[in-house]
């Protein structure tokens, strides 16, 4: 245990007491002074009925403003969703265009490889014919007896059948390409028709929204006009009653 220093302790106590005195002195100097106001009549120059009517009008306007704010928020949200949909459509359209370009490139590569392979096979076939024809020309040709029962017509080379099969395959390929192009055109027309229908629906919704907005404005203005006329509208029990018997809920 270490004994505390008496001098240090007394010094700290004196400093603390001096600070407390300074704090009390500052509080006394900055104490709030009493307020002395001249007596006067409050409430302004308006009557209670006028004030109540003004409050009711402000309440109606606040409800109308809240409705407008809700409609505006719905419209902004709808526009954001439509923009997001259009963005997604653009992305999907770009992807489809890239995929179509990739397919065309692969088809061109396939056709080029097939053409080179066909040229190679044709050259190989012609070279084989060139090597076989001299051997056939040096050999004696034996003409069979026409009266013999074993005589048959010479076998023609298969070039004509190969050409016919090749032409048939080309015609099938061309028909497939035509069908594919027709399907693409139909899909494009369907997409254009769908976009047109969506645009028409959006225009119809906009017109309906504008008509509803005008109707609400007209009703509000009619209420204000009836309120301003004496004996036109009266407020009883939370309902607006006219002399003709019609009423609206507030």
Write out pLDDT tens, residues 23-34. Answer: 999 999 998 888
Of 220, 246, 221, which is closest to residue 233 (Cα–Cα)? 246
Smallest CA-to-CA distance from 100 within 188, 162, 38 is with: 188
More confident residue, 146 or 16: 16
At 132-142, the pLDDT tens digits run 765 554 554 44
CA gap 120, 126 in Å, rounded: 10
Higher pLDDT, 231 or 195: 195
Task: Give yes or no for a contact between 223 and 60, defined as CB atoms under 8 angstroms apart.
Answer: yes
**Nearest-CA neighbor of 228 among 60, 65, 57?**
57
User: Is the confidence at residue 193, as pLDDT, over 80?
Assistant: yes
Whole-number average pLDDT of the chain:
78
- The percent of residues above 70 in pLDDT, for the chain, comes to 76
């Amino acid at each position: 245990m270490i004994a505390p220093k008496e001098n240090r302790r007394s010094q700290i106590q004196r400093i603390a007491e001096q600070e407390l005195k300074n704090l009390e002195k500052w509080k006394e100097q900055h104490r709030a002074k009493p307020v002395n106001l001249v007596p006067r009549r409050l409430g302004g120059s308006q009557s209670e009925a006028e004030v109540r009517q003004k409050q009711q009008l402000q309440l109606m306007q606040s409800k109308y403003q809240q409705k407008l704010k809700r409609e505006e928020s719905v419209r902004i949200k709808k526009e954001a969703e439509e923009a997001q949909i259009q963005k997604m459509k653009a992305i999907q359209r770009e992807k489809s265009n890239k995929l179509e370009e990739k397919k065309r490139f692969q088809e061109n590569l396939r056709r080029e490889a097939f053409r080179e392979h066909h040229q190679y096979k044709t050259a190989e076939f012609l070279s084989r014919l060139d090597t076989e024809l001299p051997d056939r020309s040096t050999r004696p040709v034996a003409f069979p007896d026409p009266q013999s029962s074993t005589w048959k017509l010479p076998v023609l080379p298969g070039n004509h059948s190969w050409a016919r099969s090749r032409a048939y395959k080309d015609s099938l390929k061309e028909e497939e390409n035509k069908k594919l192009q027709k399907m693409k055109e139909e899909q494009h027309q369907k997409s254009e028709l769908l976009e047109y229908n969506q645009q028409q629906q959006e225009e119809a919704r906009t017109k309906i929204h504008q008509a509803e907005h005008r109707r609400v404005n007209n009703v509000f203005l009619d209420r204000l006009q009836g309120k301003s006329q004496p004996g036109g509208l009266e407020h009883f029990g939370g309902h607006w009653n006219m002399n003709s018997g019609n009423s609206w809920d507030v």
